[in-house]
Amino acid sequence: MSANAAAFGSATSGPSNTVDSPAAGLVNLRDIGGLSFIGGGVTATGVLYRGDAPYPGDSALPALETWPPAGIVDLRGARERARFAYEWPADSVVHHIPMHDAAAPDAAPTDLAAVFMRMLNCGEIWAGGLLRAVSRSRGATLVHCTAGKDRTGVAVAVLLLAADVEPTAVIADFVRSEDALGSLYKRWIDVGMRRHDSPPLPEKYMHAPVEAIEPVIEQLSATRGGPSQWLLDNGADPADLDRWRARLRDGGE
């Protein structure tokens, strides 16, 4: 086990929650368990985690069902990953699935909703790989970007909606990231990613509003065949979709 893995811990048990301390650990991290399905039932715990990025020196042990995760889907670009390279334990499988650069805020979209729609409109680049990674994982999978709210928000929304999670539950999960933004900004300063006088992004991007995720849900729902068909249309394997839907409902590996 690597030094980082030893510091971060190999496994623990505890409630699904959002970690809100900026000290030496993820601050926008949670288990996507307990969300309502259309027609009844809730998503299984210990299957899908979502979060912000880990950094070298992280030592806080998340209060999640298992840690470290069996799989990691890193949605950041190569330059982001290289700047603060984090070493996961050897038995955690890391998948690098960057969202398209054209979807980044510096591509000058008008607002977060426009950023998110760009991500959705280049879904053929990332959708199939994302579904393959989470559906074939041998345990919990962490999906993360830098803040854990934008690229992660879109990716997780797609995964949840394709598994028939209630759209209202998807929205409620997305907006939870708003509570972590102050801690995220402090964490970025602490790790040397930002200066105190250097805001991470323009103010309009530093939020997790309902209005940003609603157009994503509307477009996916408007697809003929719904969100699951959107995934298939963008390169996902039907067997992976079936496996994912079963995992999220039953918690099986």
Give the pLDDT confidence of 214-239 residue by residue, as tens digits: 999 999 999 999 999 999 999 999 99
Give the Cα separation of 51 and 242 in Å (integer): 25
Residue range 39-69, pLDDT digits in tens = 999 999 999 999 999 999 898 889 998 999 9
Contacts of 196 (CB under 8 A, 6+ apart): 189
Strand order in the sheet with 71-74: 30-31, 48-51, 141-144, 71-74, 93-96
Indicate the DSSP class of residue 43. Answer: P
Contacts of 205 (CB under 8 A, 6+ apart): 105, 112, 115, 150
Q: Which pLDDT score is estimated for 69?
A: 97
- pLDDT of 141 over the 90 cut: yes
With contact defined as beta carbons under 8 Å apart, do 139 and 69 qualify?
Answer: yes
Mean pLDDT of 137-147: 96
pLDDT class for 198, splitting at 50, 70, 90?
low
Q: Which of 212, 188, 208, 209 is nearest to 109 (CA)?
A: 212
Q: Which pLDDT score is estimated for 191?
A: 86
- pLDDT of 252 over the 70 cut: no
Residue range 12-32, pLDDT digits in tens = 333 334 434 445 899 999 999
With contact defined as beta carbons under 8 Å apart, do 11 and 29 qualify?
Answer: no
Per DSSP, the three-state class of 125 is helix
Q: Which of 240, 51, 241, 252 is nearest to 164 (CA)?
A: 241
Domains of the chain, CATH where assigned = 3-250 (3.90.190.10)
Q: In the chain, which ranges are E strands?
A: 30-31, 48-51, 71-74, 93-96, 141-144
Q: What average pLDDT is seen over the chain?
A: 87
Q: Which of 142, 163, 162, 122 is nearest to 58 (CA)?
A: 142
pTM: predicted TM-score of the whole model, two decimal places = 0.88
